[in-house]
Amino acid sequence: MTTAITTLPGLTAGTWAIDPVHSTVGFSVRHLMVSKVRGTFNDFTGAITVAEDGTASVTAEIQVASIDTKNADRDAHIKSADFFDAEQFPTATFTSTGIRTKGDDYVVDGNFTLRGVTRPVELALEFNGVNPGMGNGPVAGFEATTVLNRKDFGISIDMPLEGGGAVVGDKITISLEIEAGLQA
């Protein structure tokens, strides 16, 4: 089910493809109980499809092996069966089930699949507007965040610390900065 989003000025009917050059799929997770590791995924695609009646849907696919935490050893471990098992589950996907208003902003409800496990998620969405673009048609900007529990997706490795706590936290904050262009 989708919800009308006609309140988003300038977001006209059609398919708005995510521009990976001007977008970021990032995350952060608690490390050693005192700091955070941040990273990005460098290979992803997606689209926002707006119908003539203003209803919209969102789809996205992330190649999990494209993870980049600026540490090759850590990236290799995250790709392993301990975490993403990227060889068996190479993609993470998102498919929206609805878009609703929340104050001045929006919530995109949907299903997120990671490591073969699908769970409902809510993305807190800020719509940044539409710009005429630079000669290739209009572009729209969005920022979205959500917090996931890695254990909900079968990533249950425990790496306890001697003094208590764990090397890697359970909560993962996902941060999306998206620019999408209207396809001709």
Question: Domains of the chain (ranges plus CATH)?
Answer: 14-182 (2.40.128.110)
pLDDT at 9 (0 to 100)? 64
Q: What digits encode the pLDDT tens for the residues 99-149?
A: 888 888 899 999 999 999 999 999 999 999 999 888 889 999 999 999 999
- The pLDDT tens digits of the residues spanning 151-182 come to 898 888 777 667 766 667 788 999 999 999 99
Per-residue pLDDT tens for 29-75? 877 666 788 999 999 999 999 988 878 899 999 999 999 999 999 99
Q: From residue 44, give the alpha-carbon distance in Å to each of 18, 19, 60, 181.
A: 9, 9, 7, 15
Rounded Cα distance, 23 and 33, in Å: 29
DSSP 34-86: TEEEEEEES-EEEEEEE-TTSBEEEEEEEEGGGEE-S-HHHHHHHHSTTTT-T
